[in-house]
Structure 1
Amino acid sequence: MIDPSLFEYIRCPVTQSILRVGADDLIQRINQRISDGTARNRIDRPVQRPLDAGLVNADNSLLYPVWAGIPTLIPDEAIPIDCALDAGRVMETDASV
């Protein structure tokens, strides 16, 4: 679980925008792509392991993986959110992971 107060301080390292917890259906869809071998990060490398959760930037363009409750805020590890994903459902207000 991520302490909700941290969201006041952490930002997307690429866009400097706020981050929010990604919706469960977004995580499931990306995990399906990981399972299929089609999910790639910003430097076009395959994402190797399923996400426990993810943090999404304000414009819904990038998702930062969360594994074992630890957000990975390395820009190269961010996963671009495809236009095929429903951008209207990528954010939640609940900050628990």
Structure 2
Amino acid sequence: MFSEMFLQILRCPFSHSPLTLAEPSLVDALNEKVAAGELRNRSGDLVERRLDGGLVDAQRQWLFPIFEQIPQLIADEAIPLVDAAASVEVPHE
């Protein structure tokens, strides 16, 4: 989806840590929550669009959604993985 060089440039807006591509299983699990109307972003808004992918911060606390191959690195658009972890297993590297 993205070149390795592009990924090396991207940083988490909160911690400035590197971002990595989310595992497909995590994206699939979050998309199930989107379909059920249960996924909210940092600002509390319901996520209504299916994720095409995501970028995860080094601490694995936030997922920044990718829609139509465009990463959404706006802080309020981030999906908290800590809250989502109640029903979504967050794989660790």
Normalized against structure 2, the TM-score is what?
Answer: 0.89
Identify if the C-alpha distance between structure 1 residues 90 and 68 changes in structure 2 by more than 3 Å, giving closer, same or farther: farther
Corresponding position of 1:6: 6
Closer, same or farther: CA 72–90 of 1 in aligned 2, 3 Å: farther
Structure 1 stretches of at least 4 aligned residues deviating more than 2 Å after TM superposition: 82-87
Partner residue in 2 for 1:20? 20
Structure 2: 5+ residue stretches without partners: none
Equivalent pair of 1:22/1:90 in contact (CA under 8 Å): no
Which residue number in structure 2 is paired with residue 73 of structure 1? 73
Q: What CA distance in whole angstroms lies between the structure 2 residues aligned with 1:90 and 1:39?
A: 21
Q: RCO higher in 1 or 2 (8 Å CA, sep ≥ 6)?
A: 1
Unmatched runs of 5 consecutive residues or more in structure 1? 92-97
Task: Give 1:80 shift.
Answer: 0.5
Give CA-to-partner distance per residue, 1:6-32, whole Å, 9 cap, x none.
Answer: 122110001111100000110011000
- Over residues 66-85 of structure 1, what are the superposed CA-to-partner deviations in whole Å (9 max), with x where a residue is unaligned? 11111110010000013333
Cα RMSD after superposing both structures: 1.3
The alignment's TM-score, normalised by the length of structure 1, stands at 0.86
CA distance in 2, matches of 1:83, 1:54: 15
